[in-house]
Amino acid sequence: MSRLEAKKPSFCRSEPLTSERVRATLSVLKGIVTSCYGPAGRLKQLHNGLGGSVCTTSQSAALLANLPVTHPILKILTTSVQNHVSCFSDGGLFTAILCCNLVENVQRIGLAPTTVIKLNKQLLSLCTSYLKSEACGCRIPVNFSSTQILLCLVRSILTSKPACMLTTKEINHISTLILRAFLLIIPENAQDHIILGKSIIVPLKHQRVIDSTVLPGILIEISEVQLMKILPIKKSDSFKVALFCVSLSGDLSDTGEGNVVVSYGVSLENAVLDQLLNLGRQLVSDHVDLVLCQKVIHPSLKQFLRTHHVIAVDRVGVAVMEPLSKVTGTRPIGSLDSISPSSYGSVKGLCTAKFGLKHFFHLIPNEATVCSLLLCNRNDTAWDELKLTCQTALHALQLTIKEPCVLLGGGCTETHLAAYIRHKTRSKPEGILRDDGCTQTELQLITEAFCSALESLAGSLEHDGGEILTDGKYGHFWSVQADSPSVVNWPDLLSRCGCGLYSSQEELSWSFLRSTRLPFVPQTCLPCEATGSASNLTLDCFTAKLSGLQVAVETANLILDLSYVIEDKN
Amino acid sequence: MAAAGSVRAALQVAEVLETVVSCCLGPEGRQVLCTKPTGEVLLSRDGGRLLKALHLEHPIARMMVACVSSHIRKTGDGAKTFIIFLCHLLRELHAITDKEKDSFFSENIQTHGRHWKNCCQWKFISQALLTFQTQILDYVMDHYLSKHFLSIFSSSTKERPLCRSSLEMLLGAYFCGRVGRNNHNFVSQLMCDYFFKCTACESGFEEVLELVDDCFVELKVGVTGLPVSDSRIIAGLVLPRDFSVYCPADGDIRIVIVTETIQPLFSTFGSEFILNSEAQFRTSQFWITERTKAIMKYLQKQNVKLLLSTVKQPDLVIYCAGLNGISVVECLSSEELSLIQRVTGLAPFVLPQASSQYELSNTAMVKFCKPFILRSKRYVHLGLISTCSFTPHCIVLCGPVQGLVEQHEDALHGAFKMLRQLFKDLDLNYMTQASDQNCTSNPLIYKNSRESNDLPEIVNGSIQRPYQDTVVKNKDELAKTQTYLKAYSNLVVPSVELETNILCSTPTVTLTSVTYQTDATLRCFSPDKARVMDDHEPFIDSNSANSTAENTRREISYENLQVTKNARKGSILPVRYKSLEMCTYQSYCFSSVPAGCVLPVGGNFEILLHYYLLSYAKKCRQSEETMVSMIIANALLGVPKILYKSKKGNYSFPQIYIRALHALQTNQPMISNQTGLESVAGKYQLLTSVLQCLTNILTIDLVINIKRQPQEIYDQDSEEEL
């Protein structure tokens, strides 16, 4: 019985950002995300007092998914970051920190929201047009003839996730694997429209990371009992495969809305089984070597097939159906009788393999864009983290194919961008202001807030009390270890900038990031030899970072624009 | 518990609501964050949505919200203005009652008695409001305001070509009030592009608007996690599901729609299938398979390449479709189906009973059908070939959070509703000027000339008869005077019309009434002239300073009120009603605001109507009309006051108001500093909705609070039948 209940009135608050509680919660969230950022980021342990596993992470995807947020404003912030992550995988913490910084900085100024939002938008479009332009000084075009830059990109992503618990050697190993897995899914005969294949991550927990490997084709996990039943595979260079999406268990299919009356003595089971055995006979006569079924195969049919030297594997599940049909070139069969010969496919090789404690059935394709990445790590949480990281890296590589360029990482893009904006707003304020009805002072204030948000974002890469410097030529990011003597010769202390592009051999007039500096013209247009020579760069995915920047500013604008919060208490 | 339903209570409620909605009004408005009970967050500047999200408890507030939502459902715009206007109206009424208390209720009347008396008074006012809404408003709109209207069409020929720049201005202004301020330009541009892309030919845009408004949910795709600037328009229709089977095909593709499973089942609803032997089972299964194959083969022979199904098809059908090179999309919703049917005019495919070879009739063509990937989610993309004036396009709306995407969806949907209203003619009907004049003048005459009520009735009868004979003639005359009225200033009108009236009536009316009539005309003329003189003085006052103008206005309303009081007392009232009846013989005037009428944004409509209502109020002698017109005229200013609240100096409200009044008096065009247009029809409908809501509120005298679980309402009829 339904019960009618009067709705409780909602709770309405005006000017939510001015409240002390909101500020406090925002700064707590900022503290959490900031401390996770970068290779030296601190790990967070999330555990539910009511049970469940403990999650150790420093990734925004895992962190925000498990973090319960109650305040609507924080909810807006976290959902927008999560949506960004689900689109681009990378750059979640970047987005979250930048958004928090912007909100905090702008609030400190206390200008009218209208002006702030207008100017923030102007500055954002300045950033995006600069990053997209050829003259951009923090963008490197990707040359696909060498894997150097792609490998650097993957390595940067792996390094920035300390919760994976990888050593340098392991990072190198995994990065090569990821890159190989990625190259395997690119079709060989590339037309103008590339359809990428799929790399399936196969879990292998409690193994050494070094044991991870990548294989072309598909691995289907089978139990040891099943393995015993599978006869030794005959030597051949081609195996005929039939893939069923319909159940072969002998259950009666949908009989309609009316009743079906079965007379006494009529056994439908036998009838259906007869049908199945007929199907088996047809398969045998068509010389099928391997029968795969998404659902269950009737034991009698299995037995029948085995006696005729046909390998039958059932319960493969819906997830692998698409890759399976791609690998084998079959059309999933939905009929129990009369199979069209065109539905069969083939594989080059079949073998059983043992990785760790698990047995797999390995389908080696003729030429297909599916590969399996066997991923090992010591424990569950570290494996989960590593899996997420691998997915992120694979996604970043895909995005890089679409937009063939990368951004400098390690905080250099942020400091460079801040220097560029400072310079632009100082030298050509008219171009930005146009007819918005804002004054130059307002523009300078907002620019300062925007740039310091970017710079403190870069600054949050440093967690060990070190100092952060920036140079007066390229506007890059340099960090000094803590406890260094105060008056020093900078080149002795510094070695390379954050991204690793420049070394301290040149005189670059360093200064502290926190101190006030004169605006300068950061050198645009990267010299080609610079990108070629440096072998170990820290790089970021271009598309993900650009979109993260846009989402962060848009979300900050949204939050700043709020005048009321109406909470539904039902 | 019962609480008095008073203007005071209503005003308090309205003021609270006003503070909430006024923060989101206009281009300077800000966003409100709502949380749903499920924990999702929603951004909104949509007044209707905000009011609903508040879940108000107060009965009057709930009534207001109900009025607002019914208005929104119809027009798609104006929820915030609704509340603000209502609040100002209540404020004006409240101010009047306060004054009246001083003058009339200072005697020792018991409080309860006073309450009832108050209620009676409100009833009168609400009746006056209704009369205003049905008669005066339309009249003022047609006679005075219409000359200021601009049109969204670039020329007034029959084809009515749409002017793109005016449409852009109209939409720009609409989205200014509905979406975040950094996105409104982008969204309005998107909407404009969409509209023009969907409109194949110049003339069919009404049909397009209707279709888009009805099927908007199916025509948009929301994507979260991308910046708003990634939103775009895609040609064709995007269905939010993947192909069950996809077979690439080139060129024009033939499609069919099915609404049932193609594979025959053992038994249908309400029937029984008796299986007597295993062989029978086998043969029936075999038949089912063969039949399914035959149908799919048939479809393939007919060159069908795409099968759209509203139900889930069995595996066998999918398999056969794949073998025959037919792509399948399953589980279409009924809304999607109706959209496709409206666009292509395609009827569902009826399964042939026998394996007949006749030509398949129910097919349509699509230009392409391919998978479409948005944020790693797969969609079906169909290039439908339209048979109506709507060229199918979809809007992909992106935003960092779902709440923002939803806001943009709502705003776009509302904009289509608003445009749909804009392109309809708005009917205005009211009594003609002449009849009004008669109504207003007659009671005065009677009052002056006679003591008793009996005689005028006789006179009325005698006048009525001859009038009926000359009705046709009279109408013609009126039509002439109507055109005359438009051509010249309104000062000349009353005398001219009165003359025509007399000319019509004199020959047939008896001697006594002739003398009476002439008497009346004389009497009529003198107050008219006096009023004309009156008209100028307050204007000069208002020119001099704003504050003095307000003072005089208040005095006027005060005086009027006293007149009302006087009028209600005594024996004049019934007489006047009689004369009203008598007057109705004169035909109603039917006019209309033509489709596509717009006014510049920024309180232009309100200030114009304010001005003309004031001048009307000064002209009309009936005290109730005057009072109501004054109240509404003053309340109208509430909206522009809030719009210009943050502006300073030359753009502050008093400055703009004075400039506008000056321009109107000197017959100069009003200069608006804002670019943007708004629909006149929308504003008019808003005004009538608010007045209706206010009448509802005023007629309530008691609010009874019931502390009981809400009960289900049983159907009375069914019980009686039992």
Question: Binning pLDDT at 50, 70 and 90, where does residue B486 land?
Answer: very low
Whether residue A494 is predicted with pLDDT greater than 60 in this model: the reply is yes
Task: Give A262's contacts in chain B (Cβ within 8 Å).
Answer: 275
| B106: pLDDT strictly greater than 60 | no
Contacts of A564 in chain B (CB under 8 A): 20, 23, 32-33, 50
* CA-based nearest distance A136→chain B, Å: 21
Sheet of strand B31-35: strand arrangement: A11-14, A562-567, B31-35, B41-44
Q: Which residues contact B68 (CB under 8 A, 6 or more apart)?
A: B47, B48, B51, B79, B82, B83, B693
Top-ranked range on mean pLDDT: pick from A316-325, B36-45, B561-570: A316-325
Nearest to A334 among B20, B277, B319 (CB): B319
Among partner residues B39, B272, B400, which is closest to A554 by beta-carbon distance?
B400
Best residue of A60, A563, A569 to probe chain B, by most B CBs closer than 10 Å? A563
Among all chains, which residue has been given the structure tokens 């798609």? Answer: B76
- Closest-CA residue of A relative to B224 is A83
Q: How far A114 CA sits from the closest chain B CA (Å)?
A: 7
pLDDT grade for A1, boundaries at 50, 70 and 90: very low
A73: closest chain B residue by CA: B33
* A530 — pLDDT class (breaks 50, 70, 90): low
Residue B150 tokens read as 């601009």
pLDDT, average across residues A211-236: 84
Render pLDDT for A167-220 as a digit per residue (tens, 0 to 9). 999 999 999 999 999 999 988 776 667 788 889 999 988 889 999 999 999 999
Residues of chain B neighbouring A330 (CB-CB closer than 8 A): none
Give the CATH number for residue A174. 3.30.260.10
Look up residue A143 and give its two tokens: 């040359």
Asked if pLDDT for residue B585 goes beyond 80, the answer is: no
B75-101 pLDDT tens trace: 878 888 899 999 998 888 888 776 655
Q: Could you tell me if A328 and A239 lie in one domain?
A: yes
Report if residue A66 sits inside a domain. yes
Residue B719 C-alpha, separation from nearest chain A C-alpha, in angstroms: 21
List, for residues B234-271, the tens digit of each pLDDT value: 999 999 989 998 988 888 888 999 988 888 887 777 78
Do residue B181 and residue A6 have CB atoms under 8 angstroms apart?
A: no
Q: Which residue of chain B comes nearest to A543, CA vs CA?
A: B226
Shared-domain flag, residues A47 and A133: yes
What number is the average pLDDT over the span B685-713? 80
The stretch B687-697 carries a mean pLDDT of 88
State which residues form the domain around A182: 143-217+373-403
CATH class of B237-391: alpha beta
Q: Are residues A295 and A274 in the same domain?
A: yes
Write the CATH number for A91.
1.10.560.10
B597-632 pLDDT, tens digit per residue, is 888 887 888 888 888 888 888 887 677 778 888 888
Most B-contacting residue of A558, A559, A560, A567 (CB-CB within 10 A), to test interface: A558
Q: Nearest C-alpha of chain A: how many angstroms from B105?
A: 38
Structure-model confidence comparison of residues A66 and A8, the more confident one: A66
Contact residues on chain B for A7, CB-CB shorter than 8 A:
55
Between A168 and B560, residue with greater pLDDT: A168
Same domain (yes/no): A416, A332: no
Please give the pLDDT value at position B581: 37
Q: Which residues of B touch A547 (CB under 8 A)?
A: 226-227
Mean pLDDT of A346-374: 88
Q: What does the alpha-carbon distance between residue B448 and residue B506 come to, in Å, rounded to a whole number?
A: 22
In a domain, A223, yes or no: yes
Q: Which of B54, B180, B275 is facing A10, going by the closest CB pair?
A: B54
* Residue A515: inside a domain: no
Provide the shortest C-alpha distance from residue B148 to chain A (in Å).
29
Average pLDDT over residues A438-447: 88
Residue A263: its chain B contacts at CB < 8 A? 274-277
Nearest CB neighbour to B268, from listed A245, A256, A564 = A256
Compute CA distances B641 → A106, B14, B94, whole Å. Answer: 29, 17, 19
- Please state, in angstroms and rounded to a whole number, the distance separating the CA atoms of residues B460 and A87: 81
Among B55, B276, B400, beta carbon nearest to A10:
B55
Chain-wide mean pLDDT for chain A?
87
Q: How does pLDDT run across B218-242, given as a tens digit for each residue?
A: 999 999 988 898 899 999 999 998 9
CA distance A495 to chain B (A): 38
Mean pLDDT on B299-304? 88
What confidence category does residue B190 fall into, taking pLDDT thresholds of 50, 70 and 90? very high
pLDDT at B497: 39
| A62-69 average pLDDT score | 88
Residue B466 has pLDDT above 50, yes or no: no
Percent of chain B with pLDDT over 70: 69
Searching chain B, which residue's CA lies closest to the CA of residue A333?
A: B319
Whole-number pLDDT of residue B491: 33
Contact B404 A558 (CB under 8 A): yes
Is B52's pLDDT higher than 80?
A: yes
pLDDT score of A415: 92
Find the farthest-apart pair of alpha carbons in chain B and give their distance in angstroms, rounded.
Answer: 109
Nearest to A72 among B33, B315, B712 (CB): B33
Measured in degrees and rounded to the nearest 5, phi and psi for residue A238 equal: -155, 135
More confident residue, B181 or B567: B181
Q: Going by DSSP bridges, is the β-strand pair B377-384/B304-309 parallel, antiparallel, or unpaired?
A: unpaired
Its pTM stands at: 0.82
Considering the domain architecture, whether residues A128 and A55 belong to the same structural domain is answered as yes
Q: What are the domain boundaries of chain B?
A: 237-391, 433-586
pLDDT above 90: residue B157: no
User: Are residues A172 and A202 both part of a single domain?
Assistant: yes
Residues A422 and A531 both lie in one domain: yes
* Residue A472 in domain: no
**Is the domain of A55 the same as that of A195?**
no
Residue A38 above 70 pLDDT?
yes
Tell whether A242 is covered by a domain.
yes
Q: B710 Cβ partners below 8 Å, 6+ apart?
A: A4, A6
- In chain A, pLDDT over 90 holds for what percent of residues? 41
Domain annotation covers residue A202: yes
Q: Supply the pLDDT for residue B711.
A: 66
Alpha carbon distance B413, B393 (integer Å): 15
What pLDDT was estimated at residue A131? 93
CB contact (8 A) between residue B35 and residue A567: yes
Nearest CA in chain B to A553: B227
Q: Which residue has the tokens 């005290």?
A: B623
| Chain A closest-CA separation from residue B56 CA (Å) | 5
| Residues A25 and A104 occupy one common structural domain | yes
Tens digit of each residue's pLDDT (9 = 90 or more) over B134-146: 878 888 888 888 8
CB atoms within 10 A of CB B669: 8
Cα of A530 to nearest chain B Cα, Å: 33
Q: Which DSSP string do the residues of B441-486 spell out, in sequence order?
A: HHHHHHHHH-SSSHHHHHHHHHHHHHHHHTHHHHHHHHHHHHHHHH
What is the ipTM metric for this complex? 0.88
User: Does the pLDDT of residue B189 top 60, yes or no?
Assistant: yes
Q: Which of A259, A566, A569 to probe the B interface (max B CBs under 10 A)?
A: A566
Q: Which residues contact B369 (CB under 8 A, 6 or more apart)?
A: B249, B253, B255, B305, B306, B327, B380, B381, B382, B383
pLDDT at A531 over 70: no
User: Looking at residue B717, what is its pLDDT?
Assistant: 53
In a domain, A350, yes or no: yes
Tally of domains within chain A: 3
**Same-domain pairing of A321 and A437:** no
pLDDT at A527: 61
Backbone angle region of B168, left / alpha / beta, with phi > 0 → left and psi within -120 to 50 → alpha? alpha
User: What pLDDT score was predicted for residue B493?
Assistant: 35
Q: Which residue of A has its CA nearest to B62?
A: A9
Buried b (16+ CB within 10 A) or exposed e, B310-319: beebbbbbbb
Query: Cβ contact (<8 Å) for B278 and A570?
Result: no
Which residues in chain A touch residue B54, judged by CB atoms under 8 angstroms apart?
Answer: 9-10, 12, 566
**Same domain for A386 and A421?**
no
A407 or A532, which is more confident: A407
Shortest Cα–Cα distance, B67 to chain A (Å):
19
Measure CB to CB from residue B181 to each of A343, A561, A564 and give the nearest one: A561
